[in-house]
Copies of this chain bind each other. A is one copy, B any other.
Amino acid sequence: MTSKDDASLSRKEQILDAAAALFAEKGYYKTTTAEVARSVGVTQPYVFHFFTSKESLYLAVLERAHLRILDAFTTVNAPPEQLAERMGKAFVELLLSHRDEILLVMMSYTTPEPAVRARTRQEFDIIYERVKLRFEQAGLPDAADKASVFIGHGLLIAMSETLDLPHLCRWRDKPSTKF
């Protein structure tokens, strides 16, 4: 059930999965289309049968991850005083279930490829607005500020995971009071 090269997945999905893992680990420039192909067990040119370019492959991975995050935040339902905490928990759960994709999203803002920047910009804007809206609708004061802090915390988690500096933030021990 650990979703490893499942034969039930379409080639395209397998490629997306492998790409997510590699891009998250090594970043856009250091992962080659050949590696993605090898990781799936196909040849490099075959990747281009499904995606017109390396960039479009990356964007496809990003899109999937973005939708997952947005969905998680939208789905959460909780009373106002627990909302932020529950949304934080949803984020952490996503981090545990789809680590690669989440870290990829949180790191994408540093990828200077214009198309990637543009998409990341747009997606973070959407996520921020969604978080803010939820806080507003719950009647929380300073919703915009709370949304900012929320995302800042997400970035911190991503950094501490990426650099393996767990003591920078301890969401692992007490998953309650955070966020």
Enumerate chain A interface residues (CB-CB to B < 8 A).
25-27, 29-30, 107, 109-113, 117, 120-121, 124-125, 128, 144, 148-149, 151-153, 155-156, 159, 162-165, 167-169
Contact = CB atoms under 8 A, between A and B. Distances in A.
A16 to B, nearest CB: 20
Contact of A165 (B30, B125, B156, B163): B125
Given A26-B112, A124-B168, A128-B168, 12 more contacts: A25-B112, A27-B112, A29-B30, A30-B113, A110-B110, A117-B163, A121-B163, A144-B167, A148-B153, A148-B156, A148-B168, A155-B159
Nearest to A123: B163
Given A112-B25, A124-B159, A168 B151 contact: yes
Given A26-B112, A110-B27, A110-B107, A156 B163 contact: no
A113 B110 CA distance: 14
Contacts of A110: 27, 107, 110-111, 162
